[in-house]
Amino acid sequence: MSRGRLAGCLVALAIAAAPAPAPQAAPKGKPKKLDLIWVHPAFDSLAPASIGLLPAASFDSHRQNEMVVERVFGQVLQPTGYRWVSAGLAKEMIRAALTDSALAATRQAVLTTARVDSLAAPRLCRALRVGAVLSVRLDLFEQVQVEWNQSGKPSTTITLRAAVVDSGGRQLWMATGSETGEGPYHEADAGTLGVKGSGLGATPITGQGGAPSYEEVATRLLSRWMPRFPARRAATPATP
């Protein structure tokens, strides 16, 4: 073998043996907010004139958190043009027209699948005198505060899942998503303004802001959903 050919072979072998360059990591940044929303393709023709908001359900039965979601849902849904039955009124109407056990069964169904099934929906719609019912499940309601002697950002995170089922048992709309709100950054060595409590239970007060309220974060999440909740179409005037 000639010297030139031998040198070429050695170069080729060296290149083949060299490790492949490591792939470059994608630039880090804040994760994108991801909402999964599904709308029935025939929603326009199936859309009910009225919708009942069922009592919200959480796995820990935290009624205060459930009421926050019910209240915010009621606020953001008003501009959609439907006639709404509030969650509080829906609870009383279900009890009056059906039974407490029906109310408990509805809650269990929402906790299990985040919606009522096709057999229960017609009965609930008749009880509420509406064309569809909207259920909502609280999958996560978490608030993290930063202690006075720690550094970091306090935060509030909410994850919800909701569905609309009509009086015929058809699911018309579904959404699931999460929202996190952060408070201002806390410095561990920030000066104190005073103390809270007394004796061994005294805690310094720094004046630094805390985590956003549950209502504020829930409003952000549900307001983001509303553009994907089809508004009620105006009735077409009759031809004279």
Read off the tokens for 172. 């018309």
Q: Give residues with Cβ within 8 angstroms of 198, minimum separation 6.
A: none
Check residue 208 and give its pLDDT: 57
Average pLDDT over the chain reads 81
| Average confidence (pLDDT) over 19-44 | 65
d(CA 218, CA 224): 10
Q: For residue 73, give the nearest of 167, 160, 171, 194 by alpha carbon.
A: 160
pLDDT at 67 over 50: yes
Any alpha helices (H) in 98-169, and if so which ranges? 100-113, 120-128
- Higher pLDDT: 6 or 141? It is 141
d(CA 120, CA 168): 10
Check residue 197 and give its pLDDT: 45
Q: Per-residue pLDDT tens for 76-103?
A: 988 999 999 999 999 999 999 998 999 9
Check residue 86 and give its pLDDT: 96
pLDDT at 144 over 50: yes
CATH topology of domain 31-186+205-228: Rossmann fold (3.40.50)
- Higher pLDDT: 12 or 94? It is 94
Output helix, strand, coil percentages for the chain, rounded to the nearest 5. Answer: 35, 25, 40
Query: Which residue ranges make up each domain of the chain?
Result: 31-186+205-228
| Average confidence (pLDDT) over 178-183 | 92
pLDDT at 2 over 80: no
